[in-house]
Structure 1
């Protein structure tokens, strides 16, 4: 069985789907990876397994493919990772670079969480139960990130809703924080 790890910011054994929506982290401690942010996404909302998330993060979403996409026209966003419903892990941006996932955000006295965070998207919605494969792969990915970035630990994991309260609600009430965090200990 092959082990999963991070090498030069890229996860081994994942599908790479590079996004142009990233830039360099700030120099020094300001850009040191010290936060893990859990998100959710589905395009269109509540529909899974379609190619639109990849297209959104790559900047080539056909906004005419669904009526709900018109509000996404020109949007430049990305995440480091996506974990699909079947457990597939897709990486869009090197962990050493700044992905554009958090938006206006604040954590522990610091603004602009993209500067120091890694963003993981789960294919899902706030009110749809996540799959066992997603929890399994999220655990494996998180432990690989802990190995690669020593400032990350169970106390530095938050939801998007925690860093952008009132603006964001993901990963939502359907995300089992206790299950996820317990899986990382021991």
Structure 2
């Protein structure tokens, strides 16, 4: 539960799957960064509910050997776009989701404080689906309208804000195509 008096921001186009892994943004924090990630659980396998279970602290870590390393992990993202184009929202946009980890953008640390995180179901090497690009473009345009401090030049990959730790969304993500869909 949060104490901020502003209403929670849920996208009407998204299926809600509330995660407990969030907290308040710092007082005065602006939403001024969009971070694109990828995830698949187990790695390279698509479909199923493991990502949702992970973000909701309900993943059975005995269900797959890879999940052992996720035991006790508390993470979330604001949004998740499945390969089918289904949009799932875990955390209201006005609150801080736990997606970026140790990170920095233009010398400003703690990107979770001022970023919105979008996970794409995928891997660094697997091309993303047309449905994912279409939904990502629609959502991004909505975010750009809603948050004036968020601009096209402030849309980055996880690899851009945590280059020592992360590689996503990877070489399979077509930045030029995505940008063209935004009209930028």
What TM-score do the two structures reach when normalised by structure 1? Answer: 0.94
2:112 equivalent to 1:114: yes
Extract unaligned runs of 5+ from structure 2: 1-6
Q: Which residue in 2 is equivalent to 1:97?
A: 95
Q: Which residue in 2 is equivalent to 1:18?
A: 18
Match among 69, 72, 75 for residue 71 of structure 1? 69
1:145 is displaced (CA, Å) by: 0.7
> How far apart in 1 are the matches of 2:44 and 2:146?
33
2:59 equivalent to 1:58: no
SS at match of 2:54: helix
Q: Which residue in 1 is equivalent to 2:173?
A: 175
> How far apart in 2 are the matches of 1:182 and 1:8?
31
SS at match of 2:137: helix
Q: Which residue in 1 is equivalent to 2:4?
A: none
- List 4+ stretches of structure 1 deviating above 4 A: none
Q: Which residue in 2 is equivalent to 1:136?
A: 134
Q: Which residue in 2 is equivalent to 1:3?
A: none
1:8 is displaced (CA, Å) by: 4.0
Provide the aligned C-alpha RMSD in A: 1.0
> How far apart in 2 are the matches of 1:43 and 1:121?
12
Q: Which residue in 1 is equivalent to 2:79?
A: 81
Matched positions, count: 178
SS at match of 1:11: coil
SS at match of 1:39: strand
Write the deviation string for residues 70-102 of structure 1: whole angstroms up to 9, x where unpaired.
000000000000000000000000010000000
Q: Which residue in 1 is equivalent to 2:143?
A: 145
1:147 is displaced (CA, Å) by: 1.3
> How far apart in 2 are the matches of 1:18 and 1:8?
12
SS at match of 2:179: helix
SS at match of 1:49: coil
What TM-score do the two structures reach when normalised by structure 2? Answer: 0.95
Write the deviation string for residues 33-68 of structure 1: whole angstroms up to 9, x where unpaired.
000000000000000011000000001100011010
> How far apart in 2 are the matches of 1:14 and 1:71?
29
